[in-house]
Structure 1
């Protein structure tokens, strides 16, 4: 059992928290109450960033001490939304939220994953009609292995998990969010994930 803090109690955070609890982990969800995120992060072994990506950097930098020596799993995408509320552009072009977090929090082990799919797929990948991919980006091999094991707990088969390499590879997966609004406008909100055909 791992002690996990999920920062963000919206659809993404709530979905992950429920699934990880069902898998046997001790999970705390931090809402927007003052000090809730700091309290949750302080006592967790792993912290999951499921906060809206546009404000994630500021929120997490404020938790520098609480995140020291922790694994930070970043599932958010930092985007500028269009008039319809769907992602229209990247906040960190030529970089990524994950890279910005790792630079700002050098004593935290940042791992980017689960950001190339609609949120229901994060915890139910086998419900899609073809195999999806979950990508890992991060500098610390041990942290990525720990996150890989969490993904298996969420229903991801080992062959569906691809380690892309260092944290700079997160800029590729974060850029994939720009597919999402076009797919949604074309096909609606049916669950989907970006995958690599092999």
Structure 2
């Protein structure tokens, strides 16, 4: 059992919070105020960033002191949205939100994962017709092992998880969000994920 704080109370954050609670973890969904977020982060071992990616860097940088020593699981994508509200471009071209967070929060162990799928797949990977892939990016191997444990609690089999290496590899997985609007326009708003077939 881990004490986990989820930052973000939308569909992604709410879905993850419910599933992690059902798996036996002690989960707090942080309030929107800076004071509520700071208190919730301070008491957690693991923090999940499920805030809208465009504002994540500013919001989490303000929590630098509270996040020190924590594992930060970043599932967000920072994008510039098009007129239809769907991702049209990356907010941090040439780098990634995860890298920006790790630079801004040197005392925090950032692990990027679960950002290459529709939010429903994060907590129900076996619901798809073929196994999806969850990618890991991060500098701290122990933190990534802890996150693998959380993924297992969410229904992810070990063979569906691929450790890509350091935090810079998050550039690739974050860029995958640019598939999303085209997939949705072509197939509708149905669960999907990136999957590596071998």
The residue that corresponds to 2:49 in the other structure is: 49
2:177 aligns to what SS in structure 1?
helix
TM-score by length of 2: 0.99
Measured after TM superposition, the shift of residue 189 of structure 1 is 0.7
User: Which residues in structure 2 correspond to 1:62-73 (within 5 Å)?
Assistant: 62-73=62-73
The residue that corresponds to 1:183 in the other structure is: 183
Measured after TM superposition, the shift of residue 33 of structure 1 is 2.9
List gaps (5 residues or longer) in structure 1.
none
1:47 aligns to what SS in structure 2?
strand
Take 1:140 and 1:12, find their aligned partners in 2: how far apart are those partners?
A: 24
Measured after TM superposition, the shift of residue 36 of structure 1 is 1.4
Take 2:80 and 2:91, find their aligned partners in 1: how far apart are those partners?
A: 6
Take 2:54 and 2:31, find their aligned partners in 1: how far apart are those partners?
A: 17
Take 2:84 and 2:176, find their aligned partners in 1: how far apart are those partners?
A: 19
Aligned residue pairs total 198
User: Which residues in structure 2 correspond to 1:1-198 (within 5 Å)?
Assistant: 1-198=1-198
Take 2:83 and 2:147, find their aligned partners in 1: how far apart are those partners?
A: 35
List gaps (5 residues or longer) in structure 2.
none
Change (3 A) 1:168 1:34: closer
| Runs of 4+ in structure 1 over 3 Å off | none
TM-score by length of 1: 0.99
